Chains A and B, each alone.
Chain A
């Protein structure tokens, strides 16, 4: 097992390296292919000639691509200095780039926006897990009943309606017209936990509605399959009460695919829920990357890409390891 983990961790490093190479190459090759100056992308929107020259010098854009990548890679590990002679901008490790537009290392920007994304993701995750799974289980147990049909109908709506639809609807009615949860803006958890939760409640509900629907359907299908397994019949044949049969025998097996998907969904969400953050006006990593794209601030886009990729790759690894913990038949 340890050997497997080590192998996988090496794999993580390899994948991250590959992602960085590909992303880096795209961002540098594309402008060259288009015939424009790559410095433009790094300098931000409509830069002047002096800024362009400054950026070119600092980033060493006149140097060969390999050297540029080398510096970039080195920057991630030990930090980097953007030197144009008179002034030096220091970018400590991990240096995912330097945003000249904001005059800050990208990592700083990510870290400052991370709490927002984290709050949104984790809160919604808890909600959707609890509601999605319980509704899915109940639907499976009452298959064909009115509850089941209604729940699956609502779930279909949840899966089909985009977050900017439900979110805007929720904001407009709940927040503005009915004034139930007004003033939806981010408050740090350390500042005021209650306010933090109150302001995020609407976001959590809307975001989890989407995922809960998915999880309800998934849990229902998984549960139905498990309930018809032989070992459930054996459990009943032993004389176990139905509650115990469902809880200890059926539920445990049916949750395996759920755990897998949950890990992946959460991992992806930590890279920034762009649509959600924009809809509700929260400045998280998603908003950060959206703004960067709009402003053509390449370093941020590059940095966020790597950041998100890391989470997804790690989530994959954790989920695979969890599988071995849950199912004793799985060995590495």
Chain B
């Protein structure tokens, strides 16, 4: 149900493996839960976390006048310090909502959150908002998509970094200013001592994003969440920013969660990947597993939809048919079934039963009703040749 990152400390994965190894489509072995895709109840609350960041069955719903928007509906993953997790999915898949949920940035009055978020041994969902606030910026930091709108236009870059630093460290303005210059140097902003008194609009896009990174890393957070950090930037600048993030990760040994819809970015930066669809995780594994041995039809679709110049023109764009589902009226059973070409192979099961994340290989889990062998066959014979 929740995966353990494999390459890290060499400890065993404690997940429940796919019950029926043969995978004939029969329901032998694994109990089927028709409704809630939750972790087996005994695992919540009683088992302490084994990873630095561990999210268990996180659910974030927004009650609205039109209905309850199920933005995140039972997400589980884990991450160690020094490693990067890329969360991939379409718009509306719940990636950003998850990250804001980890940071505690949702309006408590308008959100219904359940599940567990364990950060360095502390549970955040049940913690008081004031406690989570103290962790924000210090233990966990976030950088946002558009650095121009994410930085306050009326304050200098320096004063915003100083503010971020002084809120968690009781130091004088002089010390904080020196720290700000140091951070700007670290993110390779030229002439930092002078640029510190400039305003955000005086920087270029790439420089602004560096400023944001400097600001979020000023208190040495152990967890950095980057929400589409390069989407608003040129491709060349994108590479620089990603390289910078990797360097800083090595230096600070921070855990990075990078949220993106760009598979190229994920391939560059991530060690592990979580693929999300309609608020649920559908595939979770290392970068190699997900790129070379994907086992979910949605992941196949994502990989196929990357435009390739070396294909025949008619085949260059292979979109996934259909549109992202409404999060108020999520399709029954497997949320992806209306768009899945292999849905019928499961008979009625995909329309009635929600697939749970099950391990298919050590460190690699998938939420799909198709039997393992069938998935692998489809991948090897049908999907991969077309890529």
Contact = CB atoms under 8 A, between A and B. Distances in A.
Contacts of B135: 239
B153 A238 contact: no
A204 to B, nearest CB: 32
Nearest to A240: B167
B167 A238 contact: yes
A237 B199 contact: no
A237 B152 contact: no
A31 B212 CA distance: 69
Contacts of A326: 154
B25 to A, nearest CB: 46
A234 B105 CA distance: 10
B137 A231 contact: no
Query: Would you call the interface of chain B mostly helix, strand, loop, or mixed?
Result: mixed
Interface residues of B, number: 27
B215 interface: yes
Contacts, number: 68
Given A233-B105, A234-B144, A329-B201, A239 B136 contact: yes
A239 B153 contact: no
Interface string B141-158: 110101001111110000
A273 interface: no
Contacts of A240: 137, 163, 167
Interface in B131-190: 133-138, 141-142, 144, 146, 149-154, 163-164, 167-168
B199 A239 contact: no
A241 B133 contact: yes
Given A238-B167, A238-B215, A239-B168, A233 B134 contact: no
Nearest to A327: B154
A239 B138 contact: yes
A12 B238 CA distance: 50
Contact of A239 (B133, B146, B201): B133
A237 B167 contact: no
Interface string A219-240: 0000000000111011111111
B168 A230 contact: no
A234 B103 contact: no
Contact of A230 (B137, B138, B149, B215): B149
Interface of B: 103, 105, 133-138, 141-142, 144, 146, 149-154, 163-164, 167-168, 199, 201, 212, 215-216
What are the nearest 6 A-B pairs in CB distance?
A239-B137, A239-B136, A230-B149, A238-B137, A231-B152, A238-B164
